Amino acid sequence: MSSCTCLLTGAWLLLTFGSSQEAQKPTAPDVSTQKARTSGAETAAPHVKPNDAEYKIGAQDVLRIDVWKEEQLTRTVPVRPDGKVTLPLMNDIQAEGLTPMQLAASISEGLKKYINNPQVTVTITEINSRRIYVTGEVARAGAFPLLPNMTVLQALSSSGGFTQFARLKNIYVLRVENGKQVKHPFNYKEVVNGKNPEQNILLEPGDVIVVP
């Protein structure tokens, strides 16, 4: 083989090997794409639930009242329909409408007559005052706990689905507003297809979803 042929062959091998190595180099990820994905992930993050400290106690809720180093005063009590709880030394005390921290402060103030620097903690063990109701042509009608930011569609999913006779376009929510019962229409087929999403309202305590 002539020296010229060897040189040409060597040059061809170097070019081929270099092209192969370049093709195998990993491509750097696009920064704008990464930012878009990160932004999308942050947007899709679930809504933060309200802090328990903001919850206002209601009738039929069950409370755990702990008085530090006072076992005889520590107990679990239900909130009566009149919104009050009964405690030793204090008899009846208003609980409905207060946050757990506010009630703890009220109990602590009342116990100062009998105990030096009482330390009181109030915990809600059962939330029974915040309920919504589903009735009509559903698999499982009844009362359901009202979860934070719960919508009509979410409540219906908790009821186990519809019967074969359900009129999905004529569902409605009954709500008491300013002492009067108001009817809010809900077309299930429209909402699940992305139409008129404003019908999928946030529920309030005492709302009744009717599936005719």
CATH code for the domain of 202: 3.10.560.10
Tokens 């109701």 belong to residue: 133
Q: pLDDT of 96-150, one tens digit each?
A: 999 999 999 999 999 999 999 999 999 999 888 889 999 999 999 999 988 889 9
Q: Which residues neighbour 10 within 8 Å (Cβ) at sequence distance 6 or greater? A: none
In this structure, what token pair is assigned to residue 83? 């919104």
Q: Kindly give the residue spans of alpha helices, DSSP state H, lying in 31-140.
A: 31-43, 100-111
Tokens of 85: 């709880």
**Structure tokens, 102:** 């506010």
Which of the listed residues 80, 109, 126 is the one where a domain comes to its end?
126
Find, among 188, 190, 60, 180, the residue nearest to 136 by Cα. Answer: 188
Q: What is d(CA 37, CA 35) in angstroms, rounded to the nearest whole number?
A: 5
Looking at the structure, tell me whether residues 137 and 187 fall in a common domain: yes
Domain end point (choices 126, 151, 183): 126
- Count of structural domains within the chain: 2
Q: Which phi and psi (to 5°) does residue 194 adopt?
A: 80, 10
Residues 173 and 138 in one domain: yes
| pLDDT over 60 (residue 83) | yes
pLDDT band at residue 31 using 50, 70 and 90 as cut-offs: very low
Final residue in a domain of this structure, among 111, 126, 141? 126
CA 144 from centre of chain: 14
